[in-house]
Chain A
Amino acid sequence: MPDPTYAQSRPTLQAVCHTTREFTTASTAWLMEADGDDLVVVAASCTDPAFAASLLGRRFPRTDGTAAMVLQSGQPVALQPGSASVASDAIATAVLGRQPASIVCVPCADDERVLGVLQLVDRADGGPFGFDDLELLSMLGAVAGASLLESGGGLLDVPPPDVIGRELSRLADADPNRYAALARVIEVMLGQ
């Protein structure tokens, strides 16, 4: 069931989906934002606008498929099935209701974090997505990352307190001066 929170179209992300789909001749493009344990579709483009709209707000586990690999590794990738299927890409299969013939997936990131992924499937000519596709998508994925950050997307992906505590502990050990500066900033923010 789509999350109604995300039913509202976000123009910049929508434009990224449209542009990349038209450039690559992909049948469908969607952009997912990392939200807790999920990836949620926040923009989509397809020849059938109603279908694209129906994708908004759909949630998938952030551990599934090509999108999870890109989210975790930070590396863009283009895949085309050979003798193997890409059935392991559960998200693409769930979105399309079938296995895609080709996939390209790039990270949407700011300078520090991967906030989401942009995924496209099925070039019109039936061939694989190429280097030009990957490069353009990588650049527009960066634009999408900035847009996700501006819209507060980064806040949705804040690590849980135990992870923050662990990172602070590590920082205190590795770089005490920087830790002290950070602690001072936090004190000021908390009004202490």
Chain B
Amino acid sequence: MTDPSDTADTTGSASQEPRPAWSRESLVLRLEKVETIEELSRDWAWGGATGEGVRVAIVDSGVDHTHPALEGCVDVDKGVVVELDDEGQAHVVTKEHDDSFGHGTACAGIIHSFAPAARITSVKVLGAALTSTSDIFVAGLRWAVEQGYDVINLSLGSRKRDWALAFHEVCDEAYFKGSFLVTAANNINRVTYPSLFASVTSVASHTGADPWRFHYNPDPPTEFLARGINVEVPWLDHGLLTTTGNSFAAPHISGLAALIRSKHRDLQPFQLKTVLWATANNVQEAQQRGGPVTNPEAAGRFTQSIKLTGALNLSPRSTMSLRSIQQQLAADADQPPSP
């Protein structure tokens, strides 16, 4: 926490102009107190939190705000649709809308199940009337960043390299403005934007069934694994569906991020990511065991280890695929739900 007597220019401006990096007198950046890694427990992170005061944007196919499972958590009047004008330019229009596919409602339901008091806003970029080109994705994402949402869930991506720079800029803007941007990773080893940027938190599925269980993945760009298999979610027509895909893993991390943010308002994205790392099941379990992430039997095959002495041990560099890591972590996974 910064000294309250020194508030000048520490938060950055809302200007669209690039901001310079500059050196400052270190004395004015003195911190009052910081938690040590050992203090970053799940109870510290989100114990007693409900998501109160946190705003979450879901950039997706819309959200059915009338779905009973959402319990009125959607700010209908704030919802927007990205539309193309006659000249093909993307515009963000504030208006009530539905969910074209059920995908956005599913993400909202997962986030709400973690952070019931968080307010959700739908940013519709997918749908029957939308061509959903990359400029629509970027426009929707940029709007959410400009509005300063605490957490932004983006369970979709673009493969177009021409848009990489645009995605990169808006994701960096999110990072510097303090919006925690969570994206779904690709299921196979293919480039998608913005899931491979360091300024976002990219999430894939693990094979466990506990919604509160999530893993740190030491082989980025996918940094966390969360539940994404056979997840019961709200869908169209006020119904429920069982779904599988990384799209549904990402909102698990978004929901946790909303909880953490409601309890620790000052956390910047990199700090929030660190809290997630410290509270990930495999990291917590490694700490308890004082050993590698996986069980000893698997250690020969799973050569990556994490030791919570403050250092990340990545020697030798694993050549295992994300899939292999998922399977290996799943071997440790099935424990009772543990909020």
Assembly CA distance A82 to B130 (angstroms): 28
| Interface residues of chain A: helix, strand, loop or mixed (majority) | mixed
Is A76 a contact partner of B230 (Cβ separation < 8 A)? no
Is B130 a contact partner of A74 (Cβ separation < 8 A)? no
* Residues of chain B with a CB closer than 8 A to A112's CB: 159-161
Answer whether residue B40 sits at the interface, using C-beta atoms and an 8 A cutoff: no
* Residues of chain A with a CB closer than 8 A to B165's CB: 174-175
Answer whether residue A142 sits at the interface, using C-beta atoms and an 8 A cutoff: yes
* Residues of chain A with a CB closer than 8 A to B156's CB: 72-75
| Inter-chain CB contacts under 8 Å: number | 141
Q: Knowing A130-B229, A135-B187, A142-B190 touch, does A74 contact B157 (C-beta < 8 A)?
A: yes
Answer whether residue A2 sits at the interface, using C-beta atoms and an 8 A cutoff: no
| Interface residue count on the B side (C-beta < 8 Å) | 54
Is B236 a contact partner of A88 (Cβ separation < 8 A)? yes
* Residues of chain B with a CB closer than 8 A to A128's CB: 230, 242, 244
* Residues of chain A with a CB closer than 8 A to B100's CB: 68-69
Q: How far is the CB of A189 from chain B (nearest CB, A)?
A: 18
Answer whether residue B192 sits at the interface, using C-beta atoms and an 8 A cutoff: yes
Answer whether residue B207 sits at the interface, using C-beta atoms and an 8 A cutoff: yes
Answer whether residue B279 sits at the interface, using C-beta atoms and an 8 A cutoff: no
Is A88 a contact partner of B192 (Cβ separation < 8 A)? no
Partner among B160, B166, B240, B246 whose Cβ is within 8 Å of the Cβ of A75: B246
* Residues of chain A with a CB closer than 8 A to B1's CB: none
Partner among A129, A135, A142 whose Cβ is within 8 Å of the Cβ of B323: A135
Is A84 a contact partner of B235 (Cβ separation < 8 A)? yes
Q: Knowing A68-B101, A68-B128, A73-B126 touch, does A174 contact B237 (C-beta < 8 A)?
A: no
Answer whether residue A3 sits at the interface, using C-beta atoms and an 8 A cutoff: no
Q: How far is the CB of A62 from chain B (nearest CB, A)?
A: 9
Select the residue from A73, A87, A170 with max chain B CB neighbours within 10 A.
A73
Answer whether residue A171 sits at the interface, using C-beta atoms and an 8 A cutoff: yes
Q: Which residue of B lies closest to A72 (CB)?
A: B132
Q: How far is the CB of A168 from chain B (nearest CB, A)?
A: 10
* Residues of chain B with a CB closer than 8 A to A75's CB: 155-157, 184, 187, 245-247
Q: Knowing A69-B126, A111-B191 touch, does A84 contact B157 (C-beta < 8 A)?
A: no
Assembly CA distance A128 to B245 (angstroms): 12
Assembly CA distance A104 to B230 (angstroms): 12
Question: How large, as a class, is the contact surface on chain A?
Answer: 35 or more
Answer whether residue B238 sits at the interface, using C-beta atoms and an 8 A cutoff: yes
Answer whether residue A162 sits at the interface, using C-beta atoms and an 8 A cutoff: yes
* Residues of chain B with a CB closer than 8 A to A111's CB: 159, 161, 190-191
Partner among B60, B188, B235 whose Cβ is within 8 Å of the Cβ of A138: B188
Select the residue from A69, A75, A134, A138 with max chain B CB neighbours within 10 A.
A75
* Residues of chain A with a CB closer than 8 A to B323's CB: 135
* Residues of chain A with a CB closer than 8 A to B160's CB: 112-113
Answer whether residue B232 sits at the interface, using C-beta atoms and an 8 A cutoff: yes
* Residues of chain B with a CB closer than 8 A to A79's CB: 235, 241-244
Answer whether residue A114 sits at the interface, using C-beta atoms and an 8 A cutoff: yes
* Residues of chain B with a CB closer than 8 A to A158's CB: none
Assembly CA distance A142 to B192 (angstroms): 14
Q: Knowing A75-B155, A75-B157 touch, does A170 contact B126 (C-beta < 8 A)?
A: no
* Residues of chain B with a CB closer than 8 A to A68's CB: 100-101, 128
Q: Which residue of A lies closest to B250 (CB)?
A: A75
* Residues of chain B with a CB closer than 8 A to A129's CB: 244
Is B135 a contact partner of A170 (Cβ separation < 8 A)? yes
Q: Which residue of A lies closest to B86 (CB)?
A: A162
Assembly CA distance A72 to B103 (angstroms): 12
Q: Which residue of B lies closest to A128 (CB)?
A: B242
Assembly CA distance A73 to B236 (angstroms): 17
Partner among A64, A113, A142 whose Cβ is within 8 Å of the Cβ of B188: A142
Q: How far is the CB of B162 from chain A (nearest CB, A)?
A: 6
Assembly CA distance A139 to B126 (angstroms): 24
* Residues of chain A with a CB closer than 8 A to B243's CB: 77-80
Answer whether residue A86 sits at the interface, using C-beta atoms and an 8 A cutoff: yes
Is A78 a contact partner of B158 (Cβ separation < 8 A)? no
Is A76 a contact partner of B241 (Cβ separation < 8 A)? no
Beyond the given pairs A87-B237, A109-B159, 6 more chain A to chain B contacts, judged by CB atoms under 8 angstroms and listed by A's residue number, are A63-B128, A72-B132, A79-B242, A81-B242, A83-B240, A84-B240
Query: Please, could you name 19 A-B residue pairs with CB atoms under 8 Å apart, sorted by A?
Result: A68-B101, A69-B100, A69-B103, A72-B132, A73-B60, A73-B103, A75-B184, A79-B235, A79-B242, A79-B243, A79-B244, A83-B240, A86-B241, A111-B191, A128-B244, A130-B244, A131-B229, A135-B188, A162-B87
